[in-house]
Structure 1
Amino acid sequence: MLGRRAAAGVGEVVRRVGAALAVGACATLIVGCSALGPADGTGPPEASAVAVHGTFAVVGDSIADADSPDFAAGDLGAGSWATYVVDDGFAFAGGWAEWGATTAMMADSVGSIEADVLVLLAGTNDVAFGIPFDESAANLDRIIDVVGIEDVVVVSIPPMDALPAGADAYNEHLEDLAGDRGWRFVDASAGLRTTDGRFRDGMSFDGLHPSVDGARVLGEAIAGELREGLREG
């Protein structure tokens, strides 16, 4: 399992605060998420806000954890999109995320979680490692089966400045998969993206991870989808 450490690769070195991850020729980037505790179904973290709209659980990588002091306990950082979902009135019920996590690592590590909705933002590292989407899809199925939450929102992965076409293709496949499985898909990363598939100015600090402003855009779009689900329900 990849942790908060730097890995040198041929090509561009991608930096985040206190950590850098890079692999492969032609700047194949590894993005993950900072370490979270396992989701063991023990209930919402004590630090979570009181639910106004309901509770949400998260499975993801560094895009979710970002700078959170203790993501699994609900101690969220300003760089985590989950912060802005909580600000919108949803209570964080826990989850799992780890720096460098692929969908396979998530599927192998996550446990059951009790929440109204599962938000799954996963796949950046799969793109970085060149994992075929069929394998990613099977892992997403496993994650959702294990977590055991019926209402599932899958979120587009953010841009990857070194691999814009890879992120775009993944998101297209993800939207199709969500339609086939009956999951809700939200292109929450649309507000981060230029027409050529890279980050808009100010939306990332390294071409891979959202900045605080980018995390806010991402989180507000996810919260909007969660509110839409409440109206439809």
Structure 2
Amino acid sequence: MPGRGTARGLASAVAAIGAGVVAAAMVGCAAAGPGATDAPTAIAPIADAPSFAAVGDSITDANSADFAAGDLGSESWATYVVDDGFALAGGWAEWGATTERMAASVLPVDADALVVLAGTNDVALGVPFATSAANLGAIVDTVGISDVLVVSIPPLELAPGEAEAYNLALEELAVDRGWRFVDASAGLRTSDGAFRDGMSFDGVHPSARGAEVLGATIAEALREE
């Protein structure tokens, strides 16, 4: 995890990217974040479709007009999971959220699977992984869904090694807890931990194309169960 000086720099950079953004919670409206399009994609629920709940930060909320209501943006990976035939049953996502904030905010959701993509802000703030792990456990316990997919965080170009270390620890945690680890971010990154061309607009958040890659891999993993 980052040292104190590195953590301050990362936190400042991530905060600057998300400054002024107020985003969706479980029951609330979302303001679009940086890179938002004028017309986010509103998706109607699919009758009898397998369902999922999603918990995350700006990488999940992205430019959604109202994430909790299923009014999803083109830069949210959840859009492409829904496009693949799944129904978003609920969840919680907010710009700048740490795993601690998620654990304090989530509510129970009735769905077939829970997808958690969390940790970028923990890495940026230098949160010890043991603390992140405890928060992730609290999230899963509160939401109350037995089929849990934890997803690797995307590249963090200011600290590629820290993102890689977090993902390795996350995979070990998933094995230990009986969750499914999905390295959906593998399709976004280069061998040196940066974003591939066209996969991000700022070195932290996936572009619409990057979100599509994330969503396709997550949907594939959901379908495997």
Same fold (TM over 0.5): yes
1:94 deviates by: 1.1
SS in 1 for 2:71: coil
Distance 1:25 1:110, change over 3 A: same
2:37 is aligned to none
> Contact between 1:29 and 1:129, CA under 8 Å: does it hold in 2?
no
Residue identity (%) = 64
2:79 is aligned to 83
> Contact between 2:113 and 2:146, CA under 8 Å: does it hold in 1?
yes
**AA in 2 matched with 1:36:** A
TM-score (norm 1): 0.82
Distance 1:201 1:27, change over 3 A: farther
Distance 1:172 1:34, change over 3 A: farther
1:63 is aligned to 59
Pairing of 1:139-218 with structure 2 (within 5 A) = 139-218=135-214
1:39 deviates by: 6.1
**AA in 1 matched with 2:24:** L
Cα deviations by residue, 1:5-41 (Å, 9 ceiling, x for unpaired):
xxxxx99xxxxxxxxxxx723676437796223269x
CA distance in 2, matches of 1:69, 1:140: 26
User: Which of 118, 130, 146 is matched with 2:126 structurally?
Assistant: 130
**AA in 1 matched with 2:150:** V
CA distance in 1, matches of 2:148, 2:84: 18
**AA in 1 matched with 2:9:** A
1:184 deviates by: 0.5
> Contact between 1:29 and 1:125, CA under 8 Å: does it hold in 2?
no
> Contact between 1:154 and 1:183, CA under 8 Å: does it hold in 2?
yes
TM-score (norm 2): 0.85
Q: Do residues 37 (structure 1) and 21 (structure 2) align?
A: no
Q: Structure 2: which 5+ residue stretches go unaligned?
A: 29-41
Distance 1:155 1:51, change over 3 A: farther
1:111 is aligned to 107
SS in 2 for 1:104: helix
**AA in 1 matched with 2:131:** E
SS in 2 for 1:35: coil
CA distance in 2, matches of 1:48, 1:174: 33
1:25 is aligned to 9
SS in 1 for 2:81: helix
Distance 1:196 1:30, change over 3 A: same
Judging by fraction of residues, say which structure has more helix: 2
> Contact between 2:68 and 2:92, CA under 8 Å: does it hold in 1?
yes
> Contact between 1:55 and 1:117, CA under 8 Å: does it hold in 2?
yes
CA distance in 1, matches of 2:68, 2:10: 34
Q: Do residues 98 (structure 1) and 94 (structure 2) align?
A: yes
> Contact between 1:47 and 1:73, CA under 8 Å: does it hold in 2?
no
Distance 1:135 1:48, change over 3 A: farther
Kindly tell me the number of residue pairs found equivalent between the two proteins.
Answer: 204
* Range moving further from structure 2, 68-77 or 52-61: 52-61
CA distance in 1, matches of 2:49, 2:64: 23
Distance 1:192 1:52, change over 3 A: farther
CA distance in 2, matches of 1:55, 1:227: 11
1:225 deviates by: 0.3
CA distance in 2, matches of 1:116, 1:94: 11
SS in 1 for 2:91: strand
Aligned-pair RMSD on alpha carbons? 2.2
Cα deviations by residue, 1:121-150 (Å, 9 ceiling, x for unpaired):
000000000000000000000000000011
